[in-house]
Structure 1
């Protein structure tokens, strides 16, 4: 947990655009995973990244999971220039934290179902190289998204609630969701020395991503919403939501645990999908 003064310094120094720093979170998840890959999985990853293409269909030269972890965001940024609805809903699932019922998943295009779909493509050696390459990039990215609390659990405010963060100024467009994905994520990454943990060798079920999503939804209620003053499942939170220093320090520990959990699970999944 960051001391008070260090936390404030981290927040003030990295209060720029959340989009770029969100990429840093994805890179952290991917780096944790790559360090835990089996020799067989590493060989497959290296082979699948040969000839990798960037958002503009040009050779990217990328060789590591951390370098391709935000490719789905990159292609979405390009696509929405001509189609504002491109990839809408792919990176999230709007599960209400006060309900056991899962959120809608139109045409199977939501975070947990897409991981399951792309995992099947990645594991299928009969698929074309490019299909498996893109499946790898989707799996790496979406495993990170799924473990971000507000990608798997929302309350009646949704993620669009206005917010005030003690000790810093936000942009007018910043919301509760973007603060968790950006500013608080940045603070969690600042000065973090990860404690090494071994990856599980247990075999994963096909629906493991959905179970992880449900776990993250429950964590969102317990660790993201319930610590907020006045939170109740029966009432919409009053805006702006104020995130004081105690809440910020609490969020740092939550985010670090989720990044590590995502990285270890990504390694476990890739080791299984890419085994010899």
Structure 2
């Protein structure tokens, strides 16, 4: 009879457990490159909902009904599986902007098909239009919540050379992925938290001084922040593990917190009378 506590048996059990724990990370890193992934976007929506003003909260309820901002935040990514031309072609560029090093985002960096910043302006005009249908306002509001989150993911402000880090092959704890996917979901999945747990944890750590400093409804500010961060996030080596995760987790946390606060700030401004 095999001793279940022998060194060989324990080693086999450890390898099985390691494989089980590695699987969620592997799956997370293999997901398509959607900014923050579902967990991150839901975190930003949940934080935003806690900081909305009363008028914005009421207006959002009229548009979305019982749908929370955490639910609305992932809709624009979920719809990318729709085979229609709108989702496969027209709306595809609305999740990112391109800002080459040393430049600022502006008309000269906006492509003819538009980008996240131009889409944000267009959807904001729809929300302000009293003649817009409820369906159009729902689409606009869901996109706005999503785009504000996107613009806080540093690699959704691409440098124009590597598709926002998608072309940068790396490994994370031995699992092959790319730099964009790591920032979308790999670093977040490593926490092992649900979106509601993560939102609670991050929101409790937003100090009053942070609220004052971060309360900005100007997309140019968010884009410039992401571009400045982006260039320092490229690793020196492709095999990443504890050191990279330890160094960058505070950046991930802060960008999620800021995105939540900026969603609230932007919607408060949109719905102000």
In the TM superposition, residue 64 of structure 1 has moved relative to its aligned partner by: 0.5
1:247 alignment partner in structure 2: 244
**Aligned counterparts, 1:148-227, within 5 A:** 148-154=153-159, 156-158=161-163, 159=165, 160-165=167-172, 167-170=173-176, 174-187=177-190, 190=193, 192=198, 193-194=201-202, 195-198=205-208, 199-200=211-212, 208-222=218-232, 224-225=233-234
**Aligned counterparts, 1:135-150, within 5 A:** 135-150=140-155
**Aligned counterparts, 1:50-65, within 5 A:** 50=65, 63-65=67-69
| Gaps in structure 2 of 5+ consecutive residues | 1-19
In structure 2, relative to structure 1, the CA distance for the partners of 1:197 and 1:120 (3 Å cut) is farther
Q: Residue deviations 1:100-131, cap 9 Å, x none?
A: 15474223621122112212221333322222
Aligned residues: 237
In structure 2, relative to structure 1, the CA distance for the partners of 1:221 and 1:42 (3 Å cut) is same
User: How many angstroms apart in 2 are the aligned matches of 1:200 and 1:125?
Assistant: 31
In structure 2, relative to structure 1, the CA distance for the partners of 1:74 and 1:131 (3 Å cut) is same
Give secondary structure in 1 for the equivalent of 2:82. helix
In structure 2, relative to structure 1, the CA distance for the partners of 1:10 and 1:247 (3 Å cut) is farther
Give secondary structure in 1 for the equivalent of 2:171. strand
1:122 alignment partner in structure 2: 127
RMSD: 3.0
User: How many angstroms apart in 1 are the aligned matches of 2:115 and 2:270?
Assistant: 21
1:16 alignment partner in structure 2: 27
| Gaps in structure 1 of 5+ consecutive residues | 1-8, 51-61, 231-240
Q: Residue deviations 1:39-96, cap 9 Å, x none?
A: 111111111013xxxxxxxxxxx52110111111122221368985342321011222
In structure 2, relative to structure 1, the CA distance for the partners of 1:99 and 1:80 (3 Å cut) is farther
Q: Which one is further off, 246-255 or 12-21? A: 12-21
User: How many angstroms apart in 2 are the aligned matches of 1:135 and 1:83?
Assistant: 14
Q: Residue deviations 1:155-182, cap 9 Å, x none?
A: 74442121112x2423xxx322112112
TM-score by length of 1: 0.75
Larger Rg belongs to: 2
Which of 86, 93, 105 is equivalent to 1:89?
A: 93
Whether the 8 Å CA contact 1:14–1:183 is kept in 2: the answer is: yes
